[in-house]
Amino acid sequence: MSKGLFITFEGTEGCGKSTQIKLLAEHLQALGHRVRLLREPGGTPIGEEIRHTLKHSEHNHAMTAEAELLLMNASRAQIVREVIRPALAAGEMILCDRFYDSTTAYQGYGRELDLEKVKSVIDFAVGETKPDLTLFLHVPAEVSAERLRSRQSTLPFVRDRIEEADRKFFERVAHGYGVIAAIEPQRVKFINGAQPMDVVCKTIWEIVQPRVPKVGRW
């Protein structure tokens, strides 16, 4: 049985995941926990190459939804075996920016692939390695779009193929996340990501804290 804790963060574009992952990691580290931050796709040398192919390559315009699904899970299969399982066995706390719920939402609902086939591919990639807790940061579509525009205007532009999808795609993705949260309410916790950053941070800690083992004198 794993000694560590595996927490994943999910949500549509611009939901604030990156900020909240960093804040939670700092809080946990201050309490004496060993924390590992990961992202999907990516997290390993192989996974980062796959990430570039999926999101940023100038040669990925013709990529099919099926190829996207398989590449996402190739990266996932690698990070599960190379990083996640050993880290959990060593007692680390893993905070991962996206995991398999993203595939269900984006490739299953968003790309409209057969959900049973999507699940089969995910199951093959992860085996028994499942998150202990998933934090789903939800923001309305208009908030997501505005945050995305703001991010692109303030940071050096890097093409992201996923972000090029139309609004209908992201509406299907958001619906998919809602279905996932409804099916697994014990694991997937819905958080209003449109609230002020400190309020979201406080809400996340209230959810996470009961699951965190005490270390040392704590």
pLDDT higher than 50, residue 218: no
Tokens of 108: 């299953």
Q: How confident is the model at residue 111 (pLDDT cuts 50, 70, 90)?
A: very high
Give CA torsion, residues 75, 78, 84, 86, to 10 deg: -170
The domain limits of the chain are 5-211
Positive or negative: CA dihedral 85, 93, 130, 193 = negative
- The per-residue pLDDT for 13 is 80
What are φ and ψ of residue 85, in 5° steps? -60, -50
Pick the more confident residue, 13 or 107: 107
Q: Which helix (H) or strand (E) holds 109?
A: none
- Provide the sign of the torsion angle of the four alpha carbons 180, 181, 187, 189, taken in this order: positive
How many CB atoms are located within 10 Å of the residue 165 CB? 16
* Residues facing residue 50 across a β-bridge: none
Average pLDDT over residues 167-186: 95
pLDDT for 153 equals 61
Which H or E element spans position 32?
A: none
Whether residue 217 has pLDDT greater than 50? no
Tell me the pLDDT tens digit for each residue of 36-53. Answer: 999 999 999 999 999 999
State yes or no: pLDDT of 1 exceeds 60.
Answer: no
CA 177-82-205 angle, to 5 degrees, is 45
Inter-axis angle of helices 65-79 and 115-126, to 10 degrees?
A: 20
- Give residue-wise pLDDT tens across range 117-166: 999 999 999 999 999 999 999 988 776 667 666 666 665 667 799 989 99
The highest-confidence range among 142-146, 163-167, 179-183, 212-216, by mean pLDDT, is 179-183
Give the pLDDT confidence score for residue 158 in this predicted structure: 78
Q: What would the CATH number be for the domain defined by 5-211? A: 3.40.50.300
The 3-state DSSP class for residue 137 equals: strand
Q: What integer pLDDT is reported at residue 48 of this predicted model?
A: 98
pLDDT at 169: 95
The tokens for 84 are 């996640």
* Spatial distance between the Cα atoms of 68 and 164, rounded to a whole number of angstroms: 14
At 148 the pLDDT is 67
Question: How many CA atoms does the CB half-sphere of 5 hold within 13 Å?
Answer: 18
How far is Cα 173 from Cα 179, in angstroms, rounded to an integer?
A: 10
> At 180, is the secondary structure helix, strand, or coil?
helix
> According to the model, what pLDDT value does residue 154 have?
64
Give the confidence band of 2 by pLDDT, cuts at 50, 70, 90: very low
For residue 6, the SS3 value is strand
Per-residue pLDDT at 141:
72
E strand spans, 63-138: 93-97, 133-138
pLDDT at 57 over 70: yes
Mean pLDDT over 74-102 rounds to 98
pLDDT of residue 144: 65
> Any idea what the Cα angle at residue 38 is, between residues 147 and 66, rounded to 5°?
75
**pLDDT given for residue 216 in this prediction:** 60
DSSP 129: -
